[in-house]
Amino acid sequence: MSTPTDFARLLTRFLGQYLPAHRNLSQRTIQSYRDTFKLLLQFGREERGWVPEHLTLAQMDRACLEAFLDWLETTRHCGVATRNQRLAALRTFFRWVAYEAPESLEQIQRILGIAWKKTRQPTVTYLTPDAMQALLAQPDGHTARGRRDRTLLALLYDTGARVQELVDIRVRDLRLTAPAVLTLTGKGNKRRVVPLMAATATLVAAYMAERRLDRPDCQDEPLFFSQPRRALTRWGVTYILQKYAAQARAQVPGEIPETVSPHLLRHSKAMHLLQAGVNLIYIRDFLGHSNVSTTEIYARADAEMKRRALESATIPRVDIAPMSWTEDADLMQWLAQLGR
């Protein structure tokens, strides 16, 4: 039986102890870190002839990791954003290793010096209020599935929830007595409480009564489920949204983008709050962002929309004849006084 290498021991503790116990990260986030190292091992096997069980920390130098990041872009055709995401995972690992193996600090400092690649600011796509209304009107209120889907879409929009937050909702997370609120569990298992509009709370209450979720023994049941009472998956929610988006597209031509995901409703809610005059700090807390700089993408998108509207407006052109500033006697007199 071979003895585990230093890299094997450190990586096992990082994924199995540090991330879940000390950082309190969700299982899905930990899987993203794990996938980074799976790709690194694949790169090592294909490009460097590594044998994973013999791999040591000393082999992880800056040149090696820079080659790995280049491999992601050139061989796997990953975008810059994905490349930076993998680099973020590596940085987190090696910052932790610096405390666990200080004898490798110089090597780690060189690795932490690997630069990010600049990416273009993402364009925020969102629905207008009319388009959002058209989308919410699509589910058939005469069928049980249609009523479920209308409640799901309304709750997804009204709370600005991420799709994983939505599928994780349990009955106990809802309080429908005034003021109605929903507790969401977001990234890093952080919990936040968001208010529900009265119309949405009424929809949810009727849905729960129909599905017999309002009984005391149903507190741990998922709010949205398929048969046989299994929680809907992220892909299931995406399918439902895309089905109704296709129907709504015919009613409001040009208002529903061809590519639709649950995050579109989150963007839409944020933009509608901003356009209603809600402060960015409140929107940050509502969405569960850890930093207001993340929320500022909506302010930039709103400013860009206003700029385009101004450019497309018909504004009379004013022609001003060029004139030398030296011909302005008042200006020359004022400038002369500055030197006294």
DSSP-derived secondary structure letter, 319:
-
Nearest CA among 202, 203, 195, 206 for reference residue 158: 195
Active site residue 117: no
The token pair at 210 is 């129909």
What backbone torsions phi and psi does residue 192 show, to the nearest 5 degrees? Answer: -140, 150
Catalytic residue among 83, 86, 266, 267: 266
d(CA 165, CA 223) in angstroms, rounded, equals 11
> Which listed residue (110, 170, 187, 234) is catalytic?
187
Catalytic one among 83, 86, 148, 162? Answer: 162
Half-sphere exposure of 138 (CA within 13 A, CB side): 23
Burial 163-191 (b: 16+ CB within 10 A, else e): bbbbbbbbbebbebeeebbbebbbeeeee
Examine the residue annotation and report whether 272 is marked as an active-site residue of this protein.
Answer: no
Active site residue 266: yes
Q: Give 222's DSSP letter.
A: B
* 289 among known catalytic residues: yes
- Could you write out the DSSP letters of every residue in 228-251? TTEEPPHHHHHHHHHHHHHHHHHH
The alpha carbon torsion through 26, 32, 33, 37 (nearest 10 deg) reads 150
Active site residues: 162, 187, 263, 266, 289, 298
